[in-house]
């Protein structure tokens, strides 16, 4: 798919949520290409990521992380492919969360069992592994190959396990109970909202550290947080020096706590 975005939902003869849901099903990538203003116009916003050609398959990018931190910079090599849809490319919220982990340092992650939900390329989980975590990167079956490739490209086969995990289904016995759950850019497809909440609930207890980074793209995203509120409370992460930068791009980094 190209970079075309929906510019005015109101111009379509079909109005409202039914149209939104139909468009989501036909094109889950559409909300990644911009953010929705108060008048329902989707507008372009800046991105901290290197420019990616979303129509190119099996491309490689070099992604520097931790550039705004006093800690040593990490450079990941990532295979990207739009063939797998939105999961096959890297998105700004993933970079924000990875940068925050670098800011926290290896003491925060070393020796911990860490699970990333909706890993896509594996960006966040790979950064966590470099920082000393025992990491599971998870997603649906079509994305497993690209995740495995990125594990190998970054020489992390001993530190990272790739696993299939479909939201809403029982957690496979092979996946351990994590100390830390990471999720970035998982709020984009409304039919998956209750499934994501169920999986978060099944994986966690009151002691689980959950870092959840998302980019606000449309008003319907609020429905996810209505569902989430039934099982979790959350607060915004305030100790990230880059917060004033990414907040201008409608990105929020939250810490969830199970009720």
More confident residue, 21 or 121: 121
Which residues constitute the domain of residue 172? Answer: 47-258
**38 labelled ligand-binding:** no
Residue with tokens 């966040």: 124
**119 labelled ligand-binding:** yes
**133 labelled ligand-binding:** no
Most confident segment among 49-53, 61-65, 228-232: 228-232
> 130: which residues sit within 8 A by CB, 6+ positions away?
74, 154, 156, 159
C-alpha–C-alpha distance, residues 84 and 119, integer Å: 12
Burial of 73 (0-12, 13-18, 19+ CB in 10 A): exposed
For the chain, what's the residue count?
259
Give CA separation, 66 vs 123, 193, 215, in Å.
13, 30, 19
Give CA separation, 164 vs 35, 37, 116, in Å.
30, 35, 11
Mean pLDDT of 86-95: 78
C-alpha–C-alpha distance, residues 29 and 40, integer Å: 17
CB 192 within 8 A of CB 107: no
Domain assignment present for 78:
yes
Is the pLDDT confidence value at 54 over 60?
no
Domain assignment present for 157:
yes
With cut-offs at 50, 70 and 90, classify the pLDDT of residue 88: low
With cut-offs at 50, 70 and 90, classify the pLDDT of residue 86: low
Beta-sheet strands, E only, within 68-179: 74-80, 113-117, 134-139, 160-164
Tell me the two tokens of residue 257.
């706590």
Is the pLDDT confidence value at 1 over 70?
no
**139 labelled ligand-binding:** yes
> Exposure string (b/e) for 43-52, b if CB count within 10 Å is 16 or more?
eeeeeeeeeb
**What is the pLDDT, as a whole number, of residue 33?**
41
Domain assignment present for 113:
yes
Tell me the two tokens of residue 206.
């009151």
When divided into structural domains, the chain yields a total of 1
CB 24 within 8 A of CB 191: yes
More confident residue, 62 or 138: 138
Tell me the two tokens of residue 192.
């998956």
Averaged confidence pLDDT in the chain: 81
pTM: 0.80
Mean pLDDT of 12-24: 49
**What is the pLDDT, as a whole number, of residue 26?**
56
Residue with tokens 């075309």: 4
The pLDDT tens digits of the residues spanning 203-218 come to: 999 999 999 999 988 8
Mean pLDDT of 207-236: 94
Percent of the chain topping pLDDT 70:
73
**136 labelled ligand-binding:** no
**What is the pLDDT, as a whole number, of residue 22?**
57
Domain assignment present for 40:
no
Distance, CA of 202 to chain centre:
19
CA angle, residues 165, 176, 79, in degrees to nearest 5: 45
Residue closest to 201 by CA, chosen among 162, 257, 254: 257
The pLDDT tens digits of the residues spanning 119-174 come to: 999 999 999 999 999 999 999 999 999 999 999 999 999 999 999 999 999 999 99
Is the pLDDT confidence value at 222 over 50?
yes
With cut-offs at 50, 70 and 90, classify the pLDDT of residue 23: low
Which CATH number does the domain housing residue 73 bear?
Answer: 3.40.50.150
Is the pLDDT confidence value at 259 over 60?
yes
**118 labelled ligand-binding:** yes
């Amino acid at each position: 798919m190209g970079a075309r975005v929906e510019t005015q939902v109101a111009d379509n003869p079909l109005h409202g949520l039914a149209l939104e849901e139909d468009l989501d099903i036909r094109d889950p990538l559409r909300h990644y290409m911009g953010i929705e203003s108060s008048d329902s116009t989707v507008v372009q916003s800046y991105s901290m990521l290197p420019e990616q050609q979303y129509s190119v398959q099996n491309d490689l990018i070099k992604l520097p992380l931790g550039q705004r931190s006093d800690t040593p910079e990490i450079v990941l090599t990532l295979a990207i492919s739009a063939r797998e849809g939105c999961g096959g490319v890297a998105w700004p919220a993933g970079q924000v969360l990875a940068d925050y982990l670098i800011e926290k340092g290896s003491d925060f992650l070393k020796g911990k069992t860490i699970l990333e939900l909706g890993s896509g390329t594996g960006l966040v989980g790979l950064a966590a592994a470099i920082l000393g975590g025992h990491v599971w990167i998870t997603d649906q079956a079509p994305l497993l190959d690209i995740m495995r490739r990125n594990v190998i490209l970054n020489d992390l086969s001993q530190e990272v396990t790739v696993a299939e995990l479909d939201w809403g289904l029982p957690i496979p016995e092979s996946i351990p109970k994590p100390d830390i759950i990471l999720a970035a850019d998982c709020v984009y497809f409304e039919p998956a909202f209750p499934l994501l909440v169920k999986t978060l609930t099944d994986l966690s207890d009151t002691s689980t550290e959950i870092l959840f980074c998302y980019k606000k793209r449309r008003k319907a995203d609020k429905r996810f947080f209505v569902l989430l509120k039934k099982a979790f409370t959350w607060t915004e992460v305030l100790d990230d020096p880059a917060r004033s930068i990414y907040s201008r791009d409608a990105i929020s980094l939250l810490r969830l706590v199970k009720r």
